[in-house]
Amino acid sequence: MASPIHFSGVMEFDLENPLTSSDSEADSVLALFSAESDHMSSPTSALDLHSRRHAVSLILQAQCACNVDPLMAYLAINYVDRFLARQEIPREKPWAVWLLAVSSLSLASKMNMSDFSLPDFQIKEGFIFDDQTIRRMELLVLGALDWRMRSITPFSFLGFFLSFFSPALPPLLHALKERAFHILLKAQTEIKMLEFKPSLIAASALISSGDELFPIHSPAFRSAIFSSDFVNKEKLKECCLVMRDVVEMMTMDGDDRAPKTASSCATPITVLGRTCPSSDSEWTVGSLMNGRDISKDPVQ
């Protein structure tokens, strides 16, 4: 099965460095903070949380089953959130959530230049969509993103806020960044995080990491971040409280010291049935592949 949409001449996307501009470091930082709101979802009150939870579960299932790069999965979930901020998925068409997840994974794999096999994942999960269907859904997603595929995420701000940490010793900075990476990967499933700008999420993840790893240096680090002109102090306080809950939940789940790898295979996932329904409503992006039951009619 061929990949539905190809991007020619595109360099591999780096979530930590989303901008392609050759501006100075100061200008790049300003550009990141100026543009981050354009890459956010809507407040949770405006989102279809049922569809969001299901799509996230599907993407994390792909991360586990197909050894998907966690950052690629993160980018795919970012696309889902931004799509759902503009487009509703009809409850009577639950297969559409699968199509959204598959198409977001497909787009993220192209930006990530990953060798992720979309057909293999679909076959494993028992759903398969034809190329034309995925292509049309990809175009719907791209339209909802305003073609801003180089998402500005919390990872984009880690370098900026890490510069506030003292002593600036490479081993300490590396440990702080690695811990923040893992916290951010886990925090993406927390619905409340959608209320905050990516920069605040990054700052709160680093503050939590500093409190845990370097308690002696943490107060000065926290104070320096809160003193930044780019930070809304009240919103950062709120974000830190939500992040604290995320870290506590990680501890309860025994995942507080896990390395930066794929999420647990125990990710809950809702099985919608094993056959693809025909698209027969106004919410149609293309025909599905013959309504096959993959378990009974394997695709060669």
pLDDT-derived band at 153 (thresholds 50, 70, 90) equals very high
CA angle 184, 201, 225 (to 5 degrees): 120
Tokens coding 68:
């998907």
CB atoms within 10 A of CB 3: 15
Give the tens place of pLDDT for each residue, 158-168.
999 999 999 99
Q: Is the pLDDT of residue 155 over 80?
A: yes
Q: Is the pLDDT of residue 142 over 70?
A: yes
Could you tell me which residue, 25 or 101, shows the higher pLDDT?
101
Could you tell me which residue, 66 or 4, shows the higher pLDDT?
66
Q: Is the pLDDT of residue 136 over 70?
A: yes
Q: Is the pLDDT of residue 42 over 70?
A: no
Q: Find the mean pLDDT for residues 24-39.
A: 83
Could you tell me which residue, 56 or 260, shows the higher pLDDT?
56
Which residue type is seen at 149?
M
CA angle 70, 74, 79 (to 5 degrees): 150
Could you tell me which residue, 135 or 88, shows the higher pLDDT?
135
Residue 201: the pLDDT is 97
Residue 275: the pLDDT is 38
Q: Find the mean pLDDT for residues 260-282.
A: 38
> Which run of H or of E encompasses 106?
helix 95-112
- With H, G, I as helix, E, B as strand and everything else as coil, classify residue 281: coil
Q: Is the pLDDT of residue 268 over 70?
A: no
Residue 296: the pLDDT is 32
**Contact by Cβ (8 Å): 158, 16:** yes
Could you tell me which residue, 157 or 250, shows the higher pLDDT?
157
* Burial letters 215-238, b for 16+ CB under 10 A, else e: eeebeebbeebeebebbeeeebeb
DSSP state of 150: S
- With H, G, I as helix, E, B as strand and everything else as coil, classify residue 89: coil
Number of H helices, E strands in the chain: 11, 0
- Residues whose CB falls within 8 Å of the CB of residue 135, separated by 6 or more in sequence, listed in order: 4, 5, 286
Q: Is the pLDDT of residue 281 over 50?
A: no
Q: Is the pLDDT of residue 112 over 60?
A: yes
Q: Is the pLDDT of residue 92 over 50?
A: yes
Residue 206: the pLDDT is 98
Q: Is the pLDDT of residue 267 over 50?
A: no
Question: In percent, how much of the chain has pLDDT > 70?
Answer: 75
Domains of the chain: 37-152+270-300 (1.10.472.10), 154-252 (1.10.472)
Give the tens place of pLDDT for each residue, 163-215.
999 999 999 999 999 999 999 999 999 999 999 999 999 999 999 999 999 99
Q: How far apart are CA 262 and CA 104, in angstroms?
A: 18
Residue 22: the pLDDT is 53
**What separation in angstroms does the CA of 23 have from each of 11, 26, 31, 37, 85?**
18, 8, 9, 20, 31
Q: Which of 106, 108, 100, 141 is nearest to 121 (CA)?
A: 106
- Residues whose CB falls within 8 Å of the CB of residue 195, separated by 6 or more in sequence, listed in order: 43, 44, 238
Give the tens place of pLDDT for each residue, 230-243.
999 999 999 999 99
Q: Which of 181, 137, 136, 156 is nearest to 38 (CA)?
A: 156
pLDDT-derived band at 23 (thresholds 50, 70, 90) equals low
**What separation in angstroms does the CA of 98 have from each of 80, 295, 300?**
11, 17, 21
DSSP state of 289: S
